[in-house]
Amino acid sequence: MHLNVQQSSLLVNRLQQHIANHRDVEVVLAPSLLSLQAVSLEIDRRKFRLSAQDAFATDEGPQTGEVSFAMLKELVHYCIVGHSARRVYFGETLEQVRDKVQACVRNEITPILCIGETQHERAAGETKRVIHDQLTTAISHLTATEIENMVIAYEPIWAISTFQGEKAKPADMQKALDYIRQQIEGLYGAKVAKAVRLLYGGSVNAEDASSYLALDGCDGLLVGAASLNYKQFSEIVNQAPLHNVKKQRDGK
């Protein structure tokens, strides 16, 4: 919940000046709901795609004040679902997140599903259980093809600065990403598991982005506060092609 329409427009303008058009790098911007329409008219679509931050699972009805995925389908390519802030501040349940993922797919919007454990759950040794429950519930009503096309962001709540988190070690994040792919492979096979794009999101900044982008099986980053700073965000984006080239060279 940052930036009004004018501020969002200014940020996009600066990003367009500082981010190059990289062939194999997709940059997705997720402005606030009020700014989506204005930004959609302004962005260079050769460089950027748009995402909503959240939407309501029912396509239409008496839910006054809500915005449905059906209303957003002509405006965005993506929508973030199950973000840590939604789970923590608004108490979104596993079933609510599942219904939103379904609504996303039903309306031809690609879900960016966020999963991750709290500090308490991590300390209790429940990381794998939380990842398993959040992941399998969210995708339980999808076909293999639909899962192939979605994006999953591992977003450990204990590593997010908003919640006074600690910096996550890349080695620990590698284990979590591997576990997510293993779960998908066990349910839907190796082809689907390989096709799913996995992101890491945990207070990533320009200084540590490279260490996460280098992880085996990490396809990108879900950037939080650093995305409000055009210099930081541009630097993060411009690091991505270097890791793409290396992974292609290494056959990953």
What tokens appear for 52 in the block?
A: 């909503």
From the candidates 117, 146, 155, 235, give the one annotated as an active-site residue: 155
Residue of 8, 84, 89 whose CA lies nearest to 50:
8
Q: How far apart are the first and last CA of the chain?
A: 36
From the candidates 83, 92, 146, 235, give the one annotated as an active-site residue: 83
CA quadruple 38, 41, 46, 51: dihedral, nearest 10: 40
153 three-class SS: strand
* DSSP β-bridge partners for residue 151: 112, 197
Asked about 83 being catalytic, the answer comes back as yes
Q: Please list, in sequence order, all residues whose beta carbon lies within 8 angstroms of the beta carbon of residue 122, skipping any fewer than 6 positions away.
A: 156, 158
Asked about 155 being catalytic, the answer comes back as yes
What tokens appear for 73 in the block?
A: 């389908």
Give per-residue burial for 186-195: e unless 16+ CB within 10 Å, then b: eebeeebbee
15 neighbors 44 (Cβ within 8 angstroms): no
Do strands 220-221 and 197-200 pair parallel, antiparallel, or not at all (unpaired)?
Answer: parallel
177 neighbors 206 (Cβ within 8 angstroms): no
**Known catalytic residues?**
83, 155
